Amino acid sequence: MGFFLRWVVAFFLVAATYNPTEYNYVTWVMQNWPDLMSVTVLLGLLLFVGYVIYLRATLRSIGVFGMGLVLAIAAALIWVLSDFGLLGLTNRNSLLWLGIISLSLVLGIGLSWSLIRRRLSGQVDMDDIDDDS
């Protein structure tokens, strides 16, 4: 459940920033900037804090190379699904949602990587050791 929750939060973060519907931060800012500037700045800073948390953890755990690798695997999976006719790539909105899912997977995996590696290898990171012993 841990990875799934981290991925859902990452998905919400990316989708809240921009998505093909009218319910996203970028569209909202373009419509409300002059009238609600203080709220716009506050929400922008909250999104920024979310990105800092996720990106810092992702860069520390899997790095730029790992991020590229996860994106490459997602792109290859999309390519395979498209080749087998299971996924159409002609709709712009579908492509945007696939991009949002791919980016949120990178952030979710990056934030969860220490837990995933510990389960796969049995090794504990130094950050995971409690000081109460």
| Domain contains 130 | no
| Domain contains 128 | no
d(CA 47, CA 27): 14
Amino acid, single-letter form, for residue 99: G
Instruction: Extract the runs of DSSP E, i.e. beta strands, from 46-133.
Output: none
Amino acid, single-letter form, for residue 79: W
| Domain contains 131 | no
Q: How confident is the model at residue 133 (pLDDT cuts 50, 70, 90)?
A: very low
d(CA 85, CA 11): 26
Q: Taking a C-beta distance cutoff of 8 angstroms, is the pair 70, 105 a contact?
A: yes
Domain that holds residue 108: 2-119
Q: Residue 9 pLDDT > 90, yes or no?
A: yes
Structural domains in the chain (count): 1
| Domain contains 13 | yes
Q: Please count the other Cβ atoms lying within 10 Å of the Cβ belonging to residue 96.
A: 15
CA–CA distance from 122 to each of 6, 62, 89 (Å)? 21, 18, 40
- What torsion do the CA atoms of 41, 43, 45, 51 make, to the nearest 10 degrees? -150
Residues 35-94 have pLDDT tens digits of 999 999 999 999 999 999 999 999 999 999 999 999 999 999 999 999 999 998 899 999
